[in-house]
Chains A and B, each alone.
Chain A
């Protein structure tokens, strides 16, 4: 799960990690009110969307007066911000973060992520802050330092010193850093983060370290023990069909293509999307109804795909194991009767109770195209897009 920068900075404050003074605003008067409390100019206005690269897209602006804060905020709110992470359609800006401007001497990078192959927590730092860290890793890997920590243990002072010296911090900022990094690590562990990133962590003219930006991501599997993070969910950042699907615990992702699909199991669902592409179509979605789906879940999943205007045809691919084919067939028939099928639907079923499932579909009177196996299904999908 992703959250906004201003929310991540709220968490940082809880852990005494310094962030610039400021606050979030939903309209220009509120932005002006916040800016007036900051005690001087320039003031920074930052668009709050769940994507990076905002500066280049015009989502981060400096204001030299309250009038400018008002004008910039007015323009930024409601604009569609396009960055390299939003895709060409961009994101609508619904709120801004208004912050005090700082006199910056150096920009550093500091991040914490889980490393899946070693099962260790890794702290990543670089003197090349303010840039895309993947680009730094690609071009100048020697500028990146990594420290691996066993999650059964804890971050130790030698880990922190290793990073601090690699960053070549001035003596005056050293103590602050050695205090700050363990707190950031504690935030990472206590909140089951999938990512914590400060890019840049700035060194000010006063030799103070401040988190100019803040990015936090959370492990979806661990959200059950962090109800306060769930409060941070911003539905405006999510696709309406994905919100609808999440109500029924369906694993659904909306994509750009023209062929909808419904599958049980994530791996088979991905492979089915690939089959659609090979057949000359483009997948309109990812939908894994899960191993133990009820006919009600199938019905809701099918209804969501049918409501997607760009869908010109649908492929249902089920390998019945725990999810029996007759349960699937019931769900499809229910959804089709309630919503009405307006596009051709190819159904391929195999596995548990397949005969019963096929009978339910053929006796339903619905106009469905049945496929005997995956090869046949692919050919029939190709027929839809031809």
Chain B
């Protein structure tokens, strides 16, 4: 089992004919993902490696039955792309694009409210159910199929580091989700945890957070009340100075809010096993999940 995507997921790629879109589409196909369509306005009727390209998402959905969209559209047009996917009835939208204006994303988030759609990202590496389906830009081989651990992260390469250390310890993953490093994102830690709680194959979860905002604190509160499986947490940015944006648009300590210390404190208080030494992350998880 897994959450959100599996071997049956039918993926379309928005921005498939761009440099990044082409490269990562090929990587996903190689991994075994069913990429059934691409969308680039003005390039309808063409093909990319035999994958049909359409002008609009609606046409692509009607003709191919795609239910998941992977977005590589440039920042200025990405918000529009997400809303187009929502309007066409896509079930899961994965937005890789980094640099979407915050106001655009706030509009998107309100536009999606109440619709039966899940947005993952933006500014994220995507989502992977190892051995079944990869909808994103993460390197496939570092993952180990079969579970029993779910991974949720605000980061990209830090997620790869964490996943790789799990794999080296022989700990497989059910699904790994990068929820994104922007201040406004579609799917939250809590959304993923609700799904992992229901997934019988997932026996524990890893949460990778970072400075900025209060998502980790809210998540800790949720876990204490509603999540029954063991959770390992990691927070990046203990040494980050206040008031500076640390690469990710959302990674900023404003005033007293968003510090790593406050997040670690909230997580520990809620019974989350917080690993404070990234070098020992895999071993730490082996100890915690050994009895999971």
Decide if A267 touches B215 in the complex (CB within 8 Å): no
Contact with B along A350-365 (1 / 0, CB 8 A): 1110000000000000
Residues of the A chain whose Cβ atoms lie less than 8 Å from the Cβ of B234: 271
Interface 9-residue window, one of B10-18, B30-38, B65-73, B134-142 = B134-142
Decide if A267 touches B240 in the complex (CB within 8 Å): no
B247 CB, min distance to chain A CBs, angstroms = 3
Decide if A267 touches B248 in the complex (CB within 8 Å): yes
Residues of the B chain whose Cβ atoms lie less than 8 Å from the Cβ of A277: 238-239
The reply on B274 being an interface residue by CB < 8 A is no
The reply on B5 being an interface residue by CB < 8 A is no
B238 CB, min distance to chain A CBs, angstroms = 5
Residues of the A chain whose Cβ atoms lie less than 8 Å from the Cβ of B103: 114, 151, 189, 192, 219, 222
Residues of the B chain whose Cβ atoms lie less than 8 Å from the Cβ of A114: 102-103, 106, 183-184
CA distance A327 to B279 in the complex (A): 24
Contact with B along A244-279 (1 / 0, CB 8 A): 000000010101000000011111111101111110
Decide if A221 touches B99 in the complex (CB within 8 Å): yes
Decide if B138 touches A321 in the complex (CB within 8 Å): yes
A134 nearest in chain B by CB position: B255
Q: Which of A302-348 contact B (CB under 8 A)?
A: 319-322
Decide if B155 touches A222 in the complex (CB within 8 Å): no
Partner of B139, one of A120, A189, A224, A321: A321
Residues of the B chain whose Cβ atoms lie less than 8 Å from the Cβ of A350: 161, 164
A127 CB, min distance to chain B CBs, angstroms = 20
Partner of A117, one of B100, B215, B244, B249: B215
Partner of B106, one of A85, A119, A264, A274: A119
Decide if A119 touches B279 in the complex (CB within 8 Å): no
Q: Which of B172-201 contact A (CB under 8 A)?
A: 181, 183-184
Decide if A267 touches B102 in the complex (CB within 8 Å): no
Decide if A278 touches B277 in the complex (CB within 8 Å): yes
Partner of A253, one of B75, B102, B142, B246: B246
Known: A219-B101, A321-B160. A152 touches B107 (CB 8 A): yes
- Of the candidates B76, B157, B160, B218, the one having the most CB atoms from chain A within 10 angstroms of its own CB is B157
Decide if B107 touches A221 in the complex (CB within 8 Å): no
Residues of the B chain whose Cβ atoms lie less than 8 Å from the Cβ of A288: 247
Residues of the B chain whose Cβ atoms lie less than 8 Å from the Cβ of A150: 110
CA distance A194 to B184 in the complex (A): 13
The reply on A116 being an interface residue by CB < 8 A is yes
Decide if B239 touches A319 in the complex (CB within 8 Å): no
Decide if B247 touches A322 in the complex (CB within 8 Å): no
A266 CB, min distance to chain B CBs, angstroms = 3
Known: A194-B102, A266-B251, A268-B157. A275 touches B279 (CB 8 A): yes
Decide if A219 touches B102 in the complex (CB within 8 Å): yes
Decide if A267 touches B101 in the complex (CB within 8 Å): no
By size class, the interface of chain A is 35 or more
Residues of the B chain whose Cβ atoms lie less than 8 Å from the Cβ of A234: none
Interface 9-residue window, one of A63-71, A198-206, A370-378 = A370-378
Q: Which of B134-169 contact A (CB under 8 A)?
A: 137-139, 142, 153-161, 164
CA distance A128 to B184 in the complex (A): 30
Residues of the B chain whose Cβ atoms lie less than 8 Å from the Cβ of A292: 20
Q: Which of B210-259 contact A (CB under 8 A)?
A: 210-211, 213-215, 218, 234, 236-241, 243-251, 255-256
Residues of the B chain whose Cβ atoms lie less than 8 Å from the Cβ of A374: 161, 278-279
| Number of chain B residues whose Cβ lies closer than 8 Å to a Cβ of chain A | 64
Partner of B154, one of A152, A255, A267, A319: A267
Residues of the A chain whose Cβ atoms lie less than 8 Å from the Cβ of B106: 114, 119-121, 151
The reply on A42 being an interface residue by CB < 8 A is no
CA distance A276 to B237 in the complex (A): 12
Partner of A264, one of B153, B157, B210: B157
CA distance A269 to B237 in the complex (A): 9
Residues of the A chain whose Cβ atoms lie less than 8 Å from the Cβ of B239: 255, 270, 273-274, 276-277, 282-283
CA distance A271 to B250 in the complex (A): 16
Decide if B237 touches A375 in the complex (CB within 8 Å): no
Q: Which of A59-90 contact B (CB under 8 A)?
A: 85
A223 nearest in chain B by CB position: B101
Decide if A291 touches B109 in the complex (CB within 8 Å): no
Known: A220-B245, A274-B239, A286-B240. A377 touches B158 (CB 8 A): no
A283 CB, min distance to chain B CBs, angstroms = 5
Decide if B154 touches A221 in the complex (CB within 8 Å): no
The reply on A143 being an interface residue by CB < 8 A is no
Decide if A274 touches B278 in the complex (CB within 8 Å): yes
The reply on A156 being an interface residue by CB < 8 A is no
Residues of the B chain whose Cβ atoms lie less than 8 Å from the Cβ of A219: 101-103, 249
B274 CB, min distance to chain A CBs, angstroms = 13
Residues of the A chain whose Cβ atoms lie less than 8 Å from the Cβ of B211: 270
- Of the candidates A119, A151, A264, A275, the one having the most CB atoms from chain B within 10 angstroms of its own CB is A119
Q: Which of B258-292 contact A (CB under 8 A)?
A: 260, 276-280
A298 CB, min distance to chain B CBs, angstroms = 14
* Cross-chain pairs A/B with CB under 8 angstroms, 22 sampled: A119-B109, A220-B249, A221-B102, A225-B76, A253-B241, A266-B155, A267-B153, A267-B236, A267-B247, A267-B251, A268-B155, A270-B210, A271-B158, A273-B237, A274-B236, A286-B244, A288-B247, A319-B157, A321-B139, A322-B137, A374-B278, A377-B279
> Which 5 A-B residue pairs are closest in the complex by CB-CB distance?
A266-B247, A267-B155, A265-B157, A267-B158, A375-B279
| Additional 11 contacts, C-beta under 8 A, given A189-B103, A220-B245, A286-B240 | A114-B102, A116-B183, A116-B250, A120-B106, A134-B256, A219-B249, A225-B101, A268-B157, A268-B158, A275-B278, A321-B156
